[in-house]
Chains A and B, each alone.
Chain A
Amino acid sequence: MTETLIKERTGDTRGVGRPAGRRRPRATRPRWEEPPTAAGQTAKGLTLGAVVAVVLVPLWIVVATSLSTQATVNRAGGLVLWPEEITFEAYRVMLGDSTVRNALVVSLGITLVGTALSMAVSILCAYGLSRPRSVAHRFILVLLIITMFVNGGLIPTFLVVTGLGGYGEWWSLILPSAVSVFNILVLRAFYKDTSADLIEAARIDGAGDWRILWSIVLPTSRAVTAVVALFYGVGYWNSFFNVMLYMPTDSEKWPLQYVLLTYVNRGNGLPGSVNSGFGTQFSQTAPLSLQMAVVVLTLVPLLLVYPFMQKHFRVGVLTGAVKG
């Protein structure tokens, strides 16, 4: 009895000593609002619980299956809800296979190179258009925005890229989609808001536009830079259609998403892999745990950066949508 009291007290007092900023204010219902009904509260909880479960449960099952032994998979009759013995065998086999290893390198390469290029081009363009009353910036802005509504479409774009010799070339996976006007508008909206006083002070100190962009504008807009980089990165990581268009036959240049499509989703075997669990016929496809390991592999990079990015989402998205 006394113990619980003490615990309660210490629990209560622990928060008091903390700096005020760190403590979340307890959410309180406004005085004028009527208390919730039990039925309403339950319905709300169940709905939100179901929504969260619909996202998380499939992911959990995929991870659980990838970590399971063949025996557990057989016993479960397929996908596993709870791995009994955890094994990393599927990951060992998967990374031992040259096709998947190649695909991982290709995906990471395209994502890193593409994101770096897209960011450089977009940041420069956004800053170039963000200074008020600079010459021709309205005209260039209109030129950019038109592309959001009017485009040549699939086939003319395909003809231009192949006409430039893009078939089978790495750049055809990156350059045609390197610029996103939406992302430039998001960045520009932020750069416009950078303190004019700060920029003026730097100019008086003799800083040019390059210097101002690098030393003032970029450091003060880290959050939006992170969000835009995530958008670009996810775009490159997820892209598979450019591969289908420009290098459908060269399996050594396939990124992970294309491997996932051909081998997990369509159940095709992969060319060039004979010594692993990867078969050549549908009936001989790799064990389920191996397939799920490929799925997890495409998820991992995203889940690694996601927690650091997600707090900035609202800022980035809304600025683009509202101020753009």
Chain B
Amino acid sequence: MSGVDTEPPVRSRRLSLRVRLRRDRTLLLMTVPAVGLLLVFNYVPLFGLLTAFQDYNPLVGVWQSEWVGFAQFEALFSDSLFWGALGNTLYLSFVQLLLFFPIPIALALLLNSVLSERLRNTIQSIVYLPHFFSWVLAITIFQQMLGGAGLLNQFLRRNDIGTWDIMTDPDTFVLLVTSQAIWKEAGWSIIVFLAALAAINTDLYESSAVDGAGRWRRLWHITLPGMSGVIMLMLVLRLGNALTVGFEQFLIQRQAVGHEAADVLDTFAFYYGIATNNYSYGAAAGLFKSVISLLLIWGANKLAHAFGEDGLYRK
């Protein structure tokens, strides 16, 4: 139990397992609550995925329910609602990648160029703030600003321009949810980019300036290469999460814009699984999503490695 830090590795490896267990029993005991909770609420549900291959009956439980093989998946793949949700998910993910992804990088570059430390810190704490709001609160605020009775329409009505209820318009829903995501999370996402910027050696800038490089050349040849590792990592994370576009955000707004525009894979599992007690069907949709997501993460990492970056894990 003592001197774990200072003992040479060779000696500690030679100790028998029983001695080591005795020595570290306090440390092991400390991990028990967390491991226990994860076993119950993360590992046991993995067995629950079996319900995707059953016709789950809540009255008899997982072990007694009837096995149906891939019937749930066959039903899923012939369900136009499912394809609609999948299409929405991919489309939203693509638009968010296109519009959201560059903003934190640009914002971090901009903020990094502010000389006054006090001003920089103030702006930072303001843009971080929405990250800590709940989706309920964020959408309420959007509703109050852009909704039918909101500030924008208040202004439009007063000037007789007519009204436009952005919050319930399915045609512009993609842009709405993307701007909500940007409003809520773009500020918070600059943290990693700012850290990457801070890690760049300033001597590089000085010597290149002495050699006659202007500010744009320095941005292109020093700053961006210096950030490329982090940018690639964020891109990998984003691609790996392509099937997760923000569950709560869609759940809350589904009623207002209708399911054609607002159904994504997660809400599909919720509405056609839990809300209708069709658990096996929802579990099948969830399992489909998990498997594709894992493949995406793996593929995105391969891509990062191909570009010579670390990605999530090293090669």
Query: A-side interface residues toward B, CB under 8 Å?
Result: 24, 27-30, 32-34, 44, 47-48, 51-52, 54-56, 58-59, 61-62, 76-79, 120-122, 124-125, 127-129, 131-137, 140, 143-144, 147, 149-161, 163-164, 175-179, 181, 184, 196, 199-200, 203, 208-210, 213, 234, 237-241, 244-245, 257-258, 260-261, 264-266, 292, 295, 298-299, 302, 306-307, 310-311, 313-314, 317-318, 321-322
Contact = CB atoms under 8 A, between A and B. Distances in A.
A149 B298 CA distance: 11
B152 to A, nearest CB: 10
A156 B255 contact: no
Contacts, number: 285
Report the 6 A-B pairs with minimum CB-CB distance, sorted nearest first: A156-B48, A152-B45, A128-B30, A238-B134, A153-B286, A125-B34
B21 to A, nearest CB: 6
Contacts of B59: none
A61 B144 contact: yes
B125 to A, nearest CB: 5
B287 A153 contact: yes
Range class of the B interface residue count: 35 or more
B20 A158 contact: no
A155 B286 contact: yes
Interface in B279-299: 279, 282-283, 286-287, 289-290, 294, 297
B293 to A, nearest CB: 9
B136 A78 contact: no
Contact of A179 (B38, B154, B210): B38
A149 B143 contact: no
Interface of B: 1-7, 9, 12, 17, 20-21, 23-24, 26-31, 33-35, 37-38, 40-49, 51, 56, 61-62, 107, 110-111, 113-118, 121, 123, 125-130, 132-137, 139-141, 143-145, 149-151, 154, 157-158, 183, 187, 191-192, 194-195, 202, 205-206, 209-210, 214-215, 247-248, 251-252, 255, 266, 269-270, 273-274, 279, 282-283, 286-287, 289-290, 294, 297
Nearest to A144: B38
Nearest to B41: A176
A109 B151 CA distance: 34
A137 B34 CA distance: 13
A144 B37 CA distance: 11
12 contacts: A32-B209, A48-B114, A121-B34, A124-B34, A135-B17, A159-B45, A163-B61, A175-B41, A238-B133, A265-B136, A298-B136, A318-B195
A150 B282 contact: no
Contacts of B7: 133
Given A24-B118, A318-B195, A131 B4 contact: yes
> Could you tell me the dominant secondary structure of chain A's interface residues?
helix
B126 A203 contact: no
B134 A237 contact: yes
A48 B108 CA distance: 11
A154 B134 contact: no
A105 to B, nearest CB: 18
Given A125-B33, A260-B140, A155 B51 contact: yes
A78 B214 contact: no
B134 A240 contact: yes
Contact of A178 (B1, B37, B43, B202): B37
A200 B3 contact: yes
B228 to A, nearest CB: 16
A245 B7 CA distance: 51
B37 A179 contact: yes
